Structure formats: structure tokens, C-alpha cells
A and B are shown apart, each in its own frame.
Chain A
Amino acid sequence: MIRHLLSGADLDADTATLVLDTAAEMATVAGREVKKLPALRGRTVVNLFYEDSTRTRISFEAAAKRLSADVINFSAKGSSVAKGESLKDTALTLQAMGADAVVVRHPASGAPHRLADWVDGSVVNAGDGTHEHPTQALLDAYTMRSRLGRLAGLHVAIVGDVLHSRVARSNVLLLTTLGAKVTLVGPPTLIPVDIATALAPGIDVSYDLDTVAPGVDVVMMLRVQRERMSDSYFPSAREYARRYGLDGPRMRRLPEHAIVMHPGPMNRGMEITPEVADSPRSTIVEQVANGVSVRMAVLYLLLGGNNR
């Protein structure tokens, strides 16, 4: 097993499948009376969050606690980071406290990679800048597999702000590893074609959602990340929603079995309408539940044994 989970590319097909299979076993714990396993008793997991996050942090916290690990939550606000402490010094502090794993979210792409050099424990990337978010990709893959029964051969359209999306990047890497076909859809300004197609072999790019829609098994809508946009990438929110948003009529043109995903948080009315988000095809709430199981699997596989 690998020591850190920094990128969707860290996982080969066998390891990724092992994570998904382990997650399926972890999911059964959620249905039990005692929702706790003793596997990580006595281990310490630090949630190091330099960016606001609710679902990812809570999801990792729930996952670690269900495995009986001790959890320390660290958010940059109200910590020494506000006084100017560097990432390295914070890392060394965590190291001195004996963290067995550090789950890190950071606005700078690559921060978890640096952190992995400084600490002895395992580092899990919980989102770094516009780079990667591998556990999100794993939970998306898990959700697709549990809804559609397989991953190999699925056609997945990832729609929207690919340029700023770490979710898209990790998903492209993981899904192609697992044999799915990925098409990136969005306005030309938000799809870096050279980079996107170089990420993995066989990536398609389209600027027209309506031509792609009838042939897909999964539509993954990305959030329009206004906080990361310094320039205007499209003329207006209305035009974006018109061309790349998923509304009822567009959803009905998808194949009957196709599912609609969104990593959250949603901009309802922008990339997805409430009708679609709340429809039975939407897996948005499932994705959150699956997130805990997948993160339990990741923490167990990284920390459960002696992998040094």
C-alpha cells in the first residue's frame, strides 16, 4: 500500500479497486448499531485545514472517529498561522505531537506534496488549490460503481469549470486508470485543452453539452468557483447556465440510466437547477454518505498496518 495519498495518479487500478472494495465493507458499519471499529485505536489524525470546508473536514473527522482514531482539528483561522507561522513550522509542530496522519487542505497547489517531505506520518491531500482532491475522486468512483455496477467502459462527462477544478483533475486521473472514458465539457475559457488532454490518454474535450449528453452514463457537474476567478471567463452567469447548466429538459435528454453528480457545494440555478439536484437521478446526497466510507477506507489502508 502507498504511504501518502496526494494525487489521483498515486493509485494504480488494483490499489484503487482495493480502496473501493474496502469502502464497501466500511459502508456496512454505517448501518450497524455500533458505528465504530477499533482498527485505528491509539492513532492520531490531524485535520489541517487552511481553507474553509464543511463537508470534507466533517467527512474526514467522522471517518477517523469511526475507526477509533483520535482527531485533532486545526483550522488556519485562530491559529498561529494567523500570526504568520509557515507551513513547515506548523508541520514540525504536528510532527512533534505525534500525528500519524495529516489530512491537509491548502489554497496552494502542491502544499501536501511539500508537507509529505516534512512529516513522518501519512499525508492525505484533502484539496490543494486548483490541483487535486483525490478522496473526492474516489468517492465519485465509488458512487458510480454502486449505482451503475461498474466503472470500466463508463462514459463520464465532467461539465463546467475544469480549469479551476481539483475535483475534475483527480477524477480524470482516477477514472481513466479504472477504465472509464472521460469527456470534459465547458466553455473554451475554462478548459485548458493542452493540459487536460495531457493528463491522461483518451480524454475528449467538447464545448457543447447537448451533443455529448445523449451518449453518457454519468454527468458530473462542477461548481463555478467564483472565488478562484480573477477574470471573467464567460459573459454572464445567465449565459453560462443556459449553455452549460443542467436543467430539467436537458436532464431528460440523457440516457435513462444516466446519473447526475455534483461534488458540492452547489450553486443552485447556476450549474444545476433544483429540479435536477433533487431528482432521483442525482447522487449528491449519496456522494456525501459515500465520502465517509471512502475516507475510512483510505485512512485504514494508510494507517491500519505497518507500512513503513
Chain B
Amino acid sequence: MAYPPAAHSSPPRQPSVKVILAAADVSRVVDRIAHQILEKTQGAADTVLLGIPTRGVPLARRLAARISTFEDVTVPVGVLDITLYRDDLRRHATRAVGPTDLPSGGIDGRRVVLVDDVLFSGRTVRAALDALSDVGRPASVQLAVLVDRGHRQLPIRADYVGKNIPTALAENVKVTLAETDGADEVKLYGGSPA
């Protein structure tokens, strides 16, 4: 027997959605990170930006574009695919491997800034550090993220954070960017209804 629709019980729970950063906010945050990178790297000298797919890549390109607008320096941008270095490969169906594309000058002896959209457990960054050590030996590695949502499972921290968002584990942070998803936005899903 099928249950009748629960019309008389409490109203159906809508998963709450909260916009944390709108398009204009994302743009301001990227501007600020670009300034901070310039400040902390003496004008982006000898610096390479490596985006972690998927959304770290357009973010890295945007940062490089802003840096060149602000200070007229060209920062090489690359892509670092970390699929084969993940520690959860066996927990999922086989993941497709994406391209890794390092700037022509390489990364040896340079300052590498890894760029990603959300910093959460830290496992992606751990994988990225392993991948990095297999493709070269940077002088130093820094990390830039658009959003830090906490709940680290590894001793990793970011050097540049766009926005700290205190979250519950059950919540979900979703970053969309114009290049990959059509619009810039950071949303928090599934929180307690405010």
C-alpha cells in the first residue's frame, strides 16, 4: 500500500539556499586576492599560477589578468590535474583524467601559487602537492582559494582566502563561475532555515 501524500504533516522542508557572494562580490574578492599576491610576492616576481581543475583554472586565469592590469606584469598560468594523485580513487568509479598544462618556463625554482575554488578537507591540496613534486621542484608553494569553508582533515592552510564561510558538515558550498557555469556566484546549500 502506498502512503498518502503527507499533506497534513509539517510543510515539506525546502533545502535552504543562501547566496554568500554575488557576481560583484566575486569580482571584488578576486581583485583583492590579486593585490595580496602582488604584495606577498614582491610584484609577482618569478611566480607561476597553477589552477586545479575544474574551477581553479578560470580563477587562476582571472587572477593573472587582474595582476597584469594592476601592475603590468605577465604571470604564467598553468593547469595541474590531480586526478591520479587523489586518495579516494578507489571509492568511486574511475575518474577521467584531465590535462596538466605547465607554463613553458616550467616551475623549477619558481614560486607556485596553487589556485582552487573551495578549501574543505585539504585532501585536494595534498594531492596537488604530490602532483607538483612529480612535475618539478618549485622554490615555494602557496595556496589561493576563493572560499574556505573549514573542516580540514589535513594540516593545510591557505595563504590567500577570498571569503571564510563557517559551515556545518552537512552543508554544501557551491561555486559557479561564468567560464564554467555561466554566472559568478557562491551559494551555501542545506543549512538550517534562517
Interface residues of A (CB under 8 A from B): 1, 18, 21-22, 25-26, 28, 32-34, 36-39, 300-302, 304-307
A102 to chain B, nearest CB (A): 18
Q: Tell me, yes or no, whether B97 is within 8 Å of chain A by CB.
A: yes
Q: Are B93 and A1 within 8 A (Cβ)?
A: yes
- Interface of chain A, main secondary structure: loop
B80 to chain A, nearest CB (A): 12
Given contacts A36-B134, A37-B84, contact A306 B90 (CB under 8 A): yes
User: Bound complex: CA of A301 vs CA of B83, how far in Å?
Assistant: 12
Return the chain B residue nearest A41 by Cβ.
Answer: B89
* Chain B residues closer than 8 Å to A32, beta-carbon distance: 134-135
Q: Are A305 and B90 within 8 A (Cβ)?
A: yes
Return the chain A residue nearest B85 by Cβ.
Answer: A38
User: Bound complex: CA of A297 vs CA of B189, how far in Å?
Assistant: 36
Given contacts A22-B97, A36-B134, A38-B130, contact A306 B84 (CB under 8 A): no
Q: Are A18 and B134 within 8 A (Cβ)?
A: no
User: Bound complex: CA of A301 vs CA of B95, how far in Å?
Assistant: 8
Q: Are B94 and A307 within 8 A (Cβ)?
A: yes
Q: Are A25 and B89 within 8 A (Cβ)?
A: no
Return the chain A residue nearest B134 by Cβ.
Answer: A34
* Chain B residues closer than 8 Å to A26, beta-carbon distance: 97
- Interface of chain B, main secondary structure: loop
Q: Are A1 and B94 within 8 A (Cβ)?
A: yes
CB-contact partner of B96 in A22, A34, A36, under 8 A = A22
Beyond the given pairs A26-B97, A304-B94, 5 more chain A to chain B contacts, judged by CB atoms under 8 angstroms and listed by A's residue number, are A32-B134, A33-B136, A38-B84, A305-B90, A307-B93
CB-contact partner of B84 in A1, A21, A34, A39, under 8 A = A39
* Chain B residues closer than 8 Å to A28, beta-carbon distance: 99-100
User: Bound complex: CA of A307 vs CA of B84, how far in Å?
Assistant: 16
> What are 16 A-B contacts defined by CB distance under 8 Å?
A25-B97, A25-B98, A25-B99, A26-B97, A32-B135, A34-B133, A36-B134, A37-B84, A39-B84, A300-B94, A304-B89, A305-B94, A305-B95, A306-B90, A306-B91, A307-B94
User: Bound complex: CA of A33 vs CA of B136, how far in Å?
Assistant: 8
Q: Are A300 and B93 within 8 A (Cβ)?
A: no
CB-contact partner of A304 in B81, B95, B130, B134, under 8 A = B95
Q: Tell me, yes or no, whether B92 is within 8 Å of chain A by CB.
A: yes
User: Bound complex: CA of A305 vs CA of B90, how far in Å?
Assistant: 4
User: Bound complex: CA of A137 vs CA of B97, how far in Å?
Assistant: 21
User: Bound complex: CA of A36 vs CA of B133, how far in Å?
Assistant: 11
- Residue-wise, chain B 115-134 has the 8 Å CB interface mask toward A (1 for contact) of 00000000000000010011
A101 to chain B, nearest CB (A): 13
Q: Are A306 and B93 within 8 A (Cβ)?
A: yes
CB-contact partner of B94 in A25, A37, A38, A301, under 8 A = A301
* Chain B residues closer than 8 Å to A18, beta-carbon distance: 96
* Chain A residues closer than 8 Å to B134, beta-carbon distance: 32, 34, 36-37
Return the chain A residue nearest B94 by Cβ.
Answer: A305
Q: Are A39 and B99 within 8 A (Cβ)?
A: no
User: Bound complex: CA of A38 vs CA of B86, how far in Å?
Assistant: 9
A238 to chain B, nearest CB (A): 49
Return the chain B residue nearest A36 by Cβ.
Answer: B134
* Chain B residues closer than 8 Å to A1, beta-carbon distance: 93-94
Q: Are B90 and A25 within 8 A (Cβ)?
A: no
CB-contact partner of A305 in B92, B135, B136, under 8 A = B92
User: Bound complex: CA of A257 vs CA of B81, how far in Å?
Assistant: 34
A28 to chain B, nearest CB (A): 7
From A1, A21, A305, residue with most partner B Cβ within 10 Å = A305
